[in-house]
Amino acid sequence: MAGIEIPRRRRVRSARPVTPPPTVSLVIPAFNEETTIERCLLAALRQTQAPREVIVVDNRSTDGTAAVARRVAESHPGAGVRILRQFDVQGLVPTRNAGFAAARGDIIGRIDADSVIAPDWVEHVSRAMGDPAIGAVTGPVTYYDVPLFGSSSVSDDLVRRPLWHLGKSRCPFLYGSNMAIRAQAWRAIEGSACPDHDDVLHEDIDLAVHLKETGIRVAYVPRMRAGVSARRIESSPSAFRAYTHRFNATYESHGIDHWTLRAPRHLLQGLFWGLRSASSLTPSSATRKADADLGLSRKV
């Protein structure tokens, strides 16, 4: 019986509990966006980490926005595309809020209908939010219909990153075309964020202001990249000035004043003519490439 060998007990490694990554809902407010919403949705659905849901909030659109969004939803069954209607009142803030109220994820990604998020956007947002101290994140953008700025996000990041470091001690910013907020953080500021009935503020910066007032940290994440249209430069110089004035109006209405917080306005105004002459808003090669990547063959 000496031949019987008792096998040594194998050491069992203690299994670490695997924490699933936080879920991400994407919210896209949309008013007459039939020309951009398809590109936006396809990019939102082609992610290395799938979002829990993608919510389009149609705000009184009179064009084919809802029809285009429904078509994308039908061609992606099970992807969680939801189309909501906010027809009570015209405006970005109530439309955004309706989307936030409907979102069921741990994190609410907030982008615009002309945003084209990078394929690893959800992954990077989810990873950055792995730090429980961070309540909201924002990142750089490219202008896909401006040849000069469309090829990479370097140009925007070069400007945005120093601005971030200059201003963050006084007030960080969030950029509505490329941002995400923890659902819990949104609930903490929901009651105090400005309704902006007169439509004179930047609602994204307003969120950043209220997060700071509540002691919730906002982070700049260079890896969460999104393309946006530079369509605002189509507007008249005075309309563009009014748009950029919103930066000051938002900070001043909250009693915040420092030269660094005026920098984005001056920067945008300085870029205005340069961008206009550089683009003429013709589809750049970057736009065509983005469309080809997303399976969109039509010209924009």
Least distance from Zn ion to the Cβ atom of residue 194, Å: 3
The answer to whether residue 188 forms part of the interface with Zn ion (CB under 5 A) is no
Radius of gyration of the chain (CA): 22
DSSP letter string, 46-105: S-SS--SEEEEEE-S--SSHHHHHHHHHHHSTTS-EEEEE--SS-SHHHHHHHHHHH--S
203 binding Zn ion? (CB under 5 A): no
| Residue 53 in contact with Zn ion, rule: CB under 5 A | no
Nearer to Zn ion, 72 or 189 (CB): 189
CA distance readout (Å), 24 to 97, 125, 181: 16, 8, 10
Cα distance between residue 208 and residue 228, in whole Å: 20
Residue 215 in tokens? 């002691």
According to CB under 5 A, which one of 102, 148, 194, 281 is a site residue for Zn ion? 194
Min dist. Cβ of residue 252 to Zn ion (A) = 11
Taking the least distance from each CB to Zn ion, the nearer of 112 and 204 is 204
Give the nearest distance from C-beta 247 to Zn ion in angstroms: 14
Minimum gap (Å) between residue 13 Cβ and Zn ion: 51
Distance CA 49, CA 67 (A): 26
Query: By C-beta, is 194 or 267 nearer to Zn ion?
Result: 194
| Binding flags for Zn ion, 136-175, as an x/- string (CB under 5 A) | ----------------------------------------
The closest residue (CB) to Zn ion is: 194
Q: Distance between CA 211 and CA 26 in Å, rounded? A: 20
71 phi, psi to nearest 5 deg: -60, -45
The correct pick among 43, 206, 227, 268 for binding Zn ion (CB under 5 A) is 206
Q: What is the DSSP letter of 232?
A: G
Write out the residues near Zn ion by the rule CB under 5 A.
194, 206
